Amino acid sequence: MLGLGRQELMSALCHIFDQDKVRDDQTTLQSHGCDTTKAYTAAPQAVVFPTTTEQVQALVLLANAHQLSLVPSGGRTGLSGGAVASNNEIVVSFDYMNAIGDVNTIDQTVTVQPGAITQLVQQAAEHAGLYYPVDFASSGSSHIGGNIATNAGGIKVIRYGMTRDWVLGLKVVTGTGAILNLNKGLIKNNTGYDFRHLFIGSEGTLGFIVEATLGLTQPPNNLTAVVLGISSMDGIMNVLQTFQNSITLTAFEFFSESGLSLVTQHGLNRPFEAKAPFYVLLEYEQTADADALVMAAFEQCMENAWVVDGVISQNETQLQTLWALRENLSETCAAYTPYKNDISVKVSDVPTFLAEIDAVIAVGYPDFAIVWWGHIGDGNLHLNILKPEHLTKTDFFDACKRVNKDVFDIVERFGGSVSAEHGVGLLKKEYLHHTRSAADIALMHGVKAVFDPQGIMNPGKMLP
């Protein structure tokens, strides 16, 4: 049974969902048919807001019967076009499936629905004396379901790992309409294939996440931040090694002078008078012993001329002020129509890798201003190219796509990833072969066919 007219479709959707949870007004279509990317036009035919797993299942069964395309929508903070609906799809928004269960302090877990906002999950853990460590600038608006679907990373990966490391169980509705309860929150479960990990990072192409059991841990105490001016990229690696040999870091971030210059033009103060080509922000748990080790490491870095100056937070307010230098970069750059690349290599390869990319852009595209920042402690770099005033947005994006070929050739040569933490979506799928082999991609298509044989789940995303 194929094909539904407009009125038939809306009637069928209203049979599954409450009438106010089915919307086709232009405001909702535009707001929920896209993510943070600016390269695509939202053009869904409807947006639905499920409140139960059974409604999600009924929708998937309807979509299979009538070959309807479904696109998941969370906090819409993605940067790869993974939540874009530009071809008459039905957007499935999890805004109303946002419950956060009671924290289990014995198991140190919490079970949440996909629409739960990351920051609220963090707060629920904190109120129970525990800690959910996956954190990033968009935690106040991103949804847990989207974090899992893209295996989000963020600023604490060097200590706590990626989202994948904190997902103990998933309930999903597959592309066939089957409901699977994967791993059930177990720590040890050695009973064959762990399908949970197929859905983590799958970008909604295999099915919908409708519930997640997340692991929690003990909270860090007395976090303290240090910002250092670094004389060279090689110096950053030396600084990282020196501090890692001394203390356990909870974060190790970097940003370029071009980035610091931008955020200070928008209300923030420089951390110190001296300027440097790069800066690092490192964070650790403060104790008397840790402070002494930090000072010794700092002195060693100064003696080797890796560091030109530095500052350490003395209280919570200063901690947040120093973090703002790094965290405000994305929002500040947004005003300059940036073209973003989220790439990674092995940590030891970062200096040579970054230098090669800088050289390619400087020679081929001298009018392009470059802002670097990222989670350099885990090899993740964010390359941001700012649009020159004389170029239109279309011409600029076209030029950046030509830059991509050179950048991703370098990524491939270093054995790196074309998408470290933002997913593949629409923006990166044509470059997937730079990171994944032909055999990998063929198997990915095979997995997709098993879980979504009709191809209705977020079609056109991730897989070339």
Same domain, 430 and 358: yes
How far apart are alpha carbons 124 and 50 in whole angstroms?
23
143-to-137, 212, 284, 378, 397 alpha-carbon distances in Å = 13, 12, 27, 23, 28
The dihedral through the CA atoms of 249, 251, 256, 260 has a sign that is negative
How far apart are alpha carbons 437 and 426 in whole angstroms?
19
Which residue range(s) make up the domain with 57? Answer: 6-95
How far apart are alpha carbons 403 and 357 in whole angstroms?
10
CATH code assigned at 323? 3.30.70.2190
How far apart are alpha carbons 303 and 290 in whole angstroms?
20
In a domain, 284, yes or no: yes
Same domain, 165 and 190: yes
pLDDT band at 364 (very low <50, low <70, confident <90, very high): confident
In a domain, 345, yes or no: yes
**pLDDT in the model for residue 2:** 60
Same domain, 346 and 405: yes
Cβ neighbours of residue 351 under 8 Å, at least 6 residues apart?
Answer: 232, 233, 234, 236, 237
In a domain, 300, yes or no: yes
378-422 tens-digit pLDDT: 999 999 999 999 999 889 989 988 888 999 999 999 999 999 988
Same domain, 369 and 397: yes
Same domain, 171 and 251: no
**pLDDT in the model for residue 433:** 97
Same domain, 251 and 270: yes
Same domain, 319 and 378: no
Take residue 255 and report the two structure tokens written for it.
Answer: 């940003």
Chosen domain end from 160, 183, 215? 215
CATH code assigned at 25? 3.30.43.10
Chosen domain end from 191, 215, 239? 215
Q: What is the 3-state secondary structure (H, E, C) of 330-389?
A: HHHHHCCCCEEEEEECCHHHHHHHHHHHHHHHHHHCCCCEEEEEEEHHHCEEEEEEECCC
Mean pLDDT for all residues in the chain = 95
For the chain, the C-alpha Rg in angstroms (whole number) is 23
Q: Measured at the alpha carbon of residue 68, what is the angle toward residues 62 and 69, in degrees to the nearest 5?
A: 125
Sheet holding 109-112: strands in order across?
Answer: 109-112, 207-215, 167-174, 179-182
40-91 tens-digit pLDDT: 899 999 999 999 999 999 999 999 999 999 999 999 988 899 999 999 999 9
Number of domains in the chain: 4
335-361 tens-digit pLDDT: 898 888 999 999 999 999 999 998 998
**pLDDT in the model for residue 403:** 86
In a domain, 450, yes or no: no
In a domain, 444, yes or no: no
Same domain, 253 and 168: no
How far apart are alpha carbons 425 and 434 in whole angstroms?
15
Nearest CA among 454, 419, 460, 452 for reference residue 436 = 419
**pLDDT in the model for residue 297:** 97
CATH code assigned at 340? 3.30.70.2740
- Name the H helices within 190-247: 196-199, 233-244
In a domain, 382, yes or no: yes
**pLDDT in the model for residue 3:** 66
**pLDDT in the model for residue 344:** 96
2-to-62, 114, 281, 429, 448 alpha-carbon distances in Å = 10, 30, 56, 29, 22
Same domain, 379 and 426: yes
Same domain, 113 and 199: yes
Same domain, 369 and 322: no
How far apart are alpha carbons 160 and 220 in whole angstroms?
11
How far apart are alpha carbons 404 and 207 in whole angstroms?
30
3-state DSSP assignment of residue 243: helix
- Name the H helices within 178-315: 196-199, 233-244, 257-265, 288-303
128-158 tens-digit pLDDT: 999 999 998 889 999 999 999 999 998 999 9
**pLDDT in the model for residue 187:** 94
pLDDT band at 1 (very low <50, low <70, confident <90, very high): very low
In a domain, 461, yes or no: no
Q: What is the mean pLDDT of residues 108-134?
A: 98
In a domain, 197, yes or no: yes
Residues counted in the chain:
464
Chosen domain end from 48, 65, 95? 95
CATH code assigned at 188? 3.30.465.10
Same domain, 228 and 263: yes
pTM, two decimal places = 0.93
